[in-house]
């Protein structure tokens, strides 16, 4: 269990959020509520950026510390604009993004934006694309397992559900591992890293990764 100090200047963060809301607040975006691994799971709804900022992000930046053990009240405050092609929806934002040369001659096949409160979680999974993950605001914890560890990660079998049909989701909970259910997971080797603003992490295709928002956070990732 650990905690992370997250906001050195909340008033500055609030000004940036208000600027974002003032310029793009009427846009509708898909927001995920809650935590998929907790009771009640995660729900999704469309809301305006203005409402997202007002009801979730603005409140999140005022909290100086997030722990890895959320209370019921914390879970209600968690909200995430996750894996969204915001640059395609709001083309004006493209001028603020430099396409990394590391994404090959053809450039990335997709760029996703991730904006959320502290406490967001992306379950352990892998992508079929090479991934360059860039932290823009706040901090995130990422745990990585090489594809050679797959046999120890209890892959969820596809059942027609869009989240599991690819066989790229693990049943292992990286924060509350139940080794009585998943005994082999205890011997699975992993690497962990904390990303801060300006940090970038290359995640090769088929590499398992788990992501935890340690603060109000904004990230961009490129697939190719």
- The tens digit of pLDDT for each residue in 14-60 reads 788 888 999 999 999 999 987 666 666 678 999 999 999 999 999 88
Q: How far apart are CA 31 and CA 52, in angstroms?
A: 8
Among 6-15, 129-138, 144-153, 199-208, the range scoring the smallest mean pLDDT is 6-15
Give the pLDDT mean for 194-209.
96
What torsion, rounded to 10 degrees, do the Cα atoms 43, 155, 194, 11 define? Answer: 0
**Per-residue pLDDT for 109 more than 60?**
yes
Ordered by start, the domain boundaries in the chain are 3-223
Q: How does residue 72 score in pLDDT terms, banded at 50, 70 and 90?
A: low
pLDDT given for residue 3 in this prediction: 36
pLDDT given for residue 31 in this prediction: 97
- Is 3-223 a domain of CATH 1.10.3720.10? no
Prediction pTM value: 0.86
Give the pLDDT mean for 127-131.
94
Gap between the terminal Cα atoms of the chain:
34
Q: Are strands 217-223 and 131-137 parallel, antiparallel or unpaired?
A: antiparallel
pLDDT given for residue 67 in this prediction: 61
Q: How does residue 184 score in pLDDT terms, banded at 50, 70 and 90?
A: very high
Q: How far apart are CA 144 and CA 150, in angstroms?
A: 12
């Amino acid at each position: 269990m650990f905690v992370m100090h997250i906001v050195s200047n909340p008033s500055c963060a609030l000004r940036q959020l208000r600027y974002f809301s003032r310029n793009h607040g009427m846009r509708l975006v898909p927001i995920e509520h809650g935590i998929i691994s907790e009771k009640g799971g995660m729900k999704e709804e469309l809301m305006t950026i203005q409402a997202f900022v007002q009801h979730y992000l603005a409140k999140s930046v005022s909290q100086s510390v997030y722990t890895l053990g959320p209370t019921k009240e914390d879970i209600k405050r968690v909200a995430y604009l996750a894996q969204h092609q915001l640059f395609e929806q709001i083309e004006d934002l493209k001028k603020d993004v430099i396409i990394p040369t590391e994404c090959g001659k053809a450039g990335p096949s997709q760029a996703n934006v991730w904006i959320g409160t502290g406490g967001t979680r992306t379950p352990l999974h892998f992508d079929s694309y090479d991934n360059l993950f860039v932290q823009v605001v706040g901090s995130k914890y990422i745990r990585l397992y090489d594809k050679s560890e797959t046999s120890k990660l209890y892959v969820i079998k596809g059942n027609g559900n869009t989240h599991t049909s690819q066989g790229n989701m693990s049943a292992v909970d990286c924060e509350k591992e139940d080794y009585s259910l998943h005994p082999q997971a205890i011997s699975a080797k992993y690497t962990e890293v904390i990303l801060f603003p300006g940090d970038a992490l290359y995640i090769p295709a088929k590499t398992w990764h788990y992501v935890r928002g340690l603060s109000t956070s904004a990230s961009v990732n490129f697939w190719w």
